[in-house]
Amino acid sequence: MSRLPFELLLALRYLRPKRTFVSIITLISVVGVALGVAVLIIVISVMSGFDHDLRGKILGFNAHLTVVRWDSANQTPALMANYPAVAEIIATNKNVIGVAPSVLGQVLVETEPADTNARPSLTAAPYLRGVDANTENSVSVLPKSIIDGETNLATALSGRGLIVGSDFAQKMKLSVGDRISIYSPTDVKKMRESRGRPNEEAVLPDDYTVTGIFDVGYYDFDANFICTSLENAQDLYNLGDSVHGLMVMLRDPYQAAAVSNRLAAALGPNYAISTWMQENSAILGALVVEKNVMFILLLCIVAVASLCMLSAQITFVIRKTREIGMLKALGAKNLQISAVFLVQSAIIGALGVLSGLALGILAVEYRNEFLDFLRRTTGWELFPASIYGFGELPAIIAPHDVELICGISFVIICVVGGVLPAILAWILKPVEALRYE
């Protein structure tokens, strides 16, 4: 005699491979569940990795907090002249690990190729960031991200030195040693105001030399930012000794809101503080919503596989009507008969979920190799850096997400694919089953 419970023994016997239509549908159900679970794991892992890497890139180049002087009368930011004193007050907070002045604005640039016939000049309107080489290391990864040219930030920004993003350099066909003309917003305004006047005068741009190229790993920053010294940026914007604001780095970026409230109380109403979550709320919020929506939509794949299994189980109950009637006539309880089909559905679900888990983890592990192979063989680029901002497809297999996916999938399979067949077997009367069979 077998030591297995009656219900499990019978369920395993019914699951033995046979060349029947029901067995084929059961196999298709297992494959469907596996594909649904695998796709869920792949998509959610990629979106989790994208969210994690995006936050890392944003926090690496941008500040956790941005402090600006606020003109309450006009409800607009104002220049900050006494920024060293403000920086001292901010630095007294135990959660602050770095404070640096910042000048940030959009400029008009034009390349100056040595041979204009061989390579024409190009124009663009990137964001120019004024950097204090002495304090920048405490608030961003920029000093460690220079990949070409002068790697020492202070040396690179000395004189009329300029460091540009790697994608910006590629787009503008720039290399270390090339020269760039920069028109500030003030220069453009002067030219517009003097146009058509008798005393119209040409405003000459400032010439800069590309001394370095940086790559922070995020396309939006690498393609749209150039950096120069704080003094040069102040001259371009006619700021004197003032700056646009202060960049603040924290020990824990997720405490930004709490630290912001404490600093606002210390600095008073003349200063406004924004957190990195507020400045990037649109894209971060969109990622959360998209992840939740994709999770719900992809669960439909598992639900479809469960419906396929439901049809197989109902067909199986009908085919086994005579056997069910005999078992009940011999003394088997309704609960035992129903448990057979519930156990059978659970086994199919477990096989599908475990197969999907293995397939999903394998696909996530070799995702970039697959994308490289597809790009080499077909020329298709499914994950272009110019759109998504990353050179490789990020992914993080979070245990919580995997447990949630596998748990919900298993429950859906057991409920949808097993409950109704179990009810049909429960209500079947042995006399009627034997009479019609």
What distance in Å separates the CA atoms of residue 101 and residue 74, rounded to the nearest whole number? 23
> Cβ(103)–Cβ(233) under 8 Å?
yes
Looking at every residue in the chain, the average pLDDT score rounds to: 81
Q: Which residues contact 263 (CB under 8 A, 6 or more apart)?
A: 65, 67, 90, 93, 248, 273
Tens of pLDDT, residues 58-69: 777 888 899 998
Q: Is the pTM of this model over 0.85?
A: no
Q: Average pLDDT, stretch 102-127?
A: 82
Beta-ladder partners of 180: 111, 208
Q: Is the pLDDT of residue 434 over 70?
A: no
Average pLDDT of the segment spanning 411-432: 71
At residue 325, what is the residue type?
G
How far, in Å, CA of 120 to CA of 413, rounded?
A: 64
Mean pLDDT of 409-418: 77
Contacts with 189 (C-beta within 8 Å, 6 or more apart), sequence order: none
The Cα–Cα gap between 169 and 213 comes to: 7
What are the residue boundaries of the structural domains of the chain, listed by start?
6-55+284-436, 63-275
Please say whether the dihedral angle defined by the alpha carbons of residues 244, 247, 253 and 255, taken in this order, is positive or negative. negative
Model confidence at 428, pLDDT cuts 50, 70, 90, reads low
Q: What is the pLDDT of residue 210?
A: 93
Residue 40 in contact with residue 403, Cβ under 8 Å?
no
Instruction: Give CA angle at 34 (32, 37), nearest 5°.
Output: 105
For residue 379, is it left (φ>0), alpha (ψ between -120 and 50) or beta? left
For residue range 288-329, list pLDDT tens digits in order. Answer: 787 888 888 877 777 777 777 777 777 777 777 777 767 666
Residue 41 has pLDDT above 70, yes or no: yes
